[in-house]
C-alpha cells in the first residue's frame, strides 16, 4: 500500500528530529531531506558548527570536517558523525558541496589550496566578494546566514539566508539547498549582501554594544541591569509589527531639552558615555 504524502512528510519530520544521532534540538522547519547532499565543511567555529548541525539535522551527509584545532575538530566530528582532518591534502573529494565557513580574513587562505574542479563551493561571509573563491571550482557561490550564531546553542535559531551563485543554475542549487534548513532564503547580489551586512551590524553588534555600555554604567551606579531586560524585550517586540521610526520614544524624539540637559550634566563623570549619548540624541533629533 502506498503511503500518503502527508504520512511521508510526518515520517521525515520524525526522523530529522528524533532518530538522527544528534544531541541538540533542531528547528521545526527542517523537513525537506531530498535531495540528500554530501557535504564537506571547512572550519570549526560558530558558523561551521551551526550550519553543520542544521544540514545534519535536515538529513544531509556531512562527509568531513576540515580544521586546524584538533580539539574543535574532534568535537564537531563527533556531533556530525563525520571524518575529520587538519591536513588539506587529506580532503575528501567525493563531496557534492564544500562550505568554507571560516573568518573573513581566512577565506583567501582556504581558497589558495581548495581545488575541487566542478564541485559546488560556497563561502558564508556577508562582506566578502563571491569571486574570492573562483579558483576553487567552476561552480561557486555564497551561502550567507543572516543571524548571530554561537556553537554553544542548544536550540538552533531561525536563520534567514542570502544566496548567490556564479551562474543562474548554481544560484538556484544553493537556494534549494538553503531551503532545506530555512524557511527564509533570498537571492542577493554581492552589493545587496554587503549592504545587508552593514545593516545587520547596526541592529545586532551596535545594539549589543549599547547593552554592554548600559550594563557597565548600571554596575558603577549600583543599579540592577536586569530591571532593563523587560524594556529591551518590549522594544524588540514592537518592531515585529511596526517601523522602528514609528515606535521611537524618549526625550530626544520629544525634544525634551530640560530632561536632556539634566542627563548630560549627570554624565559629566562619564565622558565617553556622554559623547555617545550626545551623538545618538543628535541622530534622533536630526534624522
Contact, 102 vs 43, CB < 8 A? yes
Please state whether the peptide bond connecting residue 135 to the residue before it is cis, i.e. omega within 30 degrees of 0: no
Q: Are residues 111 and 206 in the same domain?
A: no
Nearest to 65 by CA among 107, 101, 28, 117: 101
> Which residues, including other chains, have CB under 8 Å from residue 261's CB and lie 6 or more apart?
none
Rounded to whole angstroms, the Cα distance separating 101 from 46 reads 9
For 120-142, what is each residue's pLDDT tens digit? 999 999 999 999 999 999 999 99
Counted domains in the chain: 2
Beta-strand pair 120-123/161-165: unpaired
Question: What CATH code is carried by the domain that includes residue 116?
Answer: 3.40.50.720
Rounded to whole angstroms, the Cα distance separating 133 from 128 reads 10
H or E element that contains 140:
strand 139-145
The owner of cell 558615555 is: 273
> Could you tell me the pLDDT band of residue 287, with boundaries at 50, 70 and 90?
confident
Return mean pLDDT, the chain: 90
> Could you tell me the pLDDT band of residue 154, with boundaries at 50, 70 and 90?
confident
Q: Are residues 76 and 208 in the same domain?
A: no
Q: Are residues 182 and 265 in the same domain?
A: no
Domain boundary among 157, 188, 219: 188
21 pLDDT exceeds 70?
no
Q: Are residues 273 and 180 in the same domain?
A: no
Looking at residue 70, its pLDDT comes to 87
Beta-strand pair 83-85/97-100: unpaired
In the predicted model, what is the mean pLDDT of residues 2-6? 41
Looking at residue 34, its pLDDT comes to 52
For 193-229, what is each residue's pLDDT tens digit? 999 999 999 999 999 999 999 999 999 999 999 999 9
pTM above the 0.95 mark? Answer: no
Rounded to whole angstroms, the Cα distance separating 201 from 206 reads 6
For 157-168, what is each residue's pLDDT tens digit? 899 999 999 999
Rounded to whole angstroms, the Cα distance separating 204 from 148 reads 8
Domain boundary among 188, 203, 226: 188
> Which residues, including other chains, have CB under 8 Å from residue 70's CB and lie 6 or more apart?
86
In the predicted model, what is the mean pLDDT of residues 36-47? 96
By the 10 Å C-beta count (0-12 exposed, 13-18 middle, 19+ buried), 4 is classed as exposed
For 56-96, what is each residue's pLDDT tens digit? 999 999 999 999 988 999 999 999 999 999 999 999 999 99
Q: How many CB atoms lie within 10 A of CB 218?
A: 15
Lowest average pLDDT, out of 15-19, 31-35, 144-148, 275-279, goes to 15-19
- Strand arrangement of the beta sheet that strand 38-42 belongs to: 83-85, 61-66, 38-42, 97-100, 120-123, 139-145, 161-165, 185-187
Q: Are residues 102 and 212 in the same domain?
A: no
25 pLDDT exceeds 50?
no
Angle at 176 between CA 79 and CA 147, to 5 degrees: 55
Q: Are residues 97 and 179 in the same domain?
A: yes
Rounded to whole angstroms, the Cα distance separating 233 from 221 reads 23
Q: Are residues 114 and 210 in the same domain?
A: no
Q: Are residues 127 and 216 in the same domain?
A: no
Domain boundary among 145, 169, 188: 188
Q: How much of the chain, in percent, has pLDDT values that exceed 90? A: 85
Looking at residue 69, its pLDDT comes to 87
Q: Are residues 181 and 200 in the same domain?
A: no
Question: Which cell is 82 given?
Answer: 563525520
CA distance from start to end of the chain = 66
Per this entry, what is the length of the chain?
A: 287
Phi, psi of 59, rounded to the nearest 5 degrees: 100, 0
Q: Are residues 204 and 164 in the same domain?
A: no
173 pLDDT exceeds 90?
yes
Question: What CATH code is carried by the domain that includes residue 228?
Answer: 1.10.1040.20
Q: Which domain holds residue 125?
A: 5-188
Q: Are residues 70 and 176 in the same domain?
A: yes
The owner of cell 566542478 is: 118
Q: Are residues 35 and 165 in the same domain?
A: yes
Amino acid at each position: 500500500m502506498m503511503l500518503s504524502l502527508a504520512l511521508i512528510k510526518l515520517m521525515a519530520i520524525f526522523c530529522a528530529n528524533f532518530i538522527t544521532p544528534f544531541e541538540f534540538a533542531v528547528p521545526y522547519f527542517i523537513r525537506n531531506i531530498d535531495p540528500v547532499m554530501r557535504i564537506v565543511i571547512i572550519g570549526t567555529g560558530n558558523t561551521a558548527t551551526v550550519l553543520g548541525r542544521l544540514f545534519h539535522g535536515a538529513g544531509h551527509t556531512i562527509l568531513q570536517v576540515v580544521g586546524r584545532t584538533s580539539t574543535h575538530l574532534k568535537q564537531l566530528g563527533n556531533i556530525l558523525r563525520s571524518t575529520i582532518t587538519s591536513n588539506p591534502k587529506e580532503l575528501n573529494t567525493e563531496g557534492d558541496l564544500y562550505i568554507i565557513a571560516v573568518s573573513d580574513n581566512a577565506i583567501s587562505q582556504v581558497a589558495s589550496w581548495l581545488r575541487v574542479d566542478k564541485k559546488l563551493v560556497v563561502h558564508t561571509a556577508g562582506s566578502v566578494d563571491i569571486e574570492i573563491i573562483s579558483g576553487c571550482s567552476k561552480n561557486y557561490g555564497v551561502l550567507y546566514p543572516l543571524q548571530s550564531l554561537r556553537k554553544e546553542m542548544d536550540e538552533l535559531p531561525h536563520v534567514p539566508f542570502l544566496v548567490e551563485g556564479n551562474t543562474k543554475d548554481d544560484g538556484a542549487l544553493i537556494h534549494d539547498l538553503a531551503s532545506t534548513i530555512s524557511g527564509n532564503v533570498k537571492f542577493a547580489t554581492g552589493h545587496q549582501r554587503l549592504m545587508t551586512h552593514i545593516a545587520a551590524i547596526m541592529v545586532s553588534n551596535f545594539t549589543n554594544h549599547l547593552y554592554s555600555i548600559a550594563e557597565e554604567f548600571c554596575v558603577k551606579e549600583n543599579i540592577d541591569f536586569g530591571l532593563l531586560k523587560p524594556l529591551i524585550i518590549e522594544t524588540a517586540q514592537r518592531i515585529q509589527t511596526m517601523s522602528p521610526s514609528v515606535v521611537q520614544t524618549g526625550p530626544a524624539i520629544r525634544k525634551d531639552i530640560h530632561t536632556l540637559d539634566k542627563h548630560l550634566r549627570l554624565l559629566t563623570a562619564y565622558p565617553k558615555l556622554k559623547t555617545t549619548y550626545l551623538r545618538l540624541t543628535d541622530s534622533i533629533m536630526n534624522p
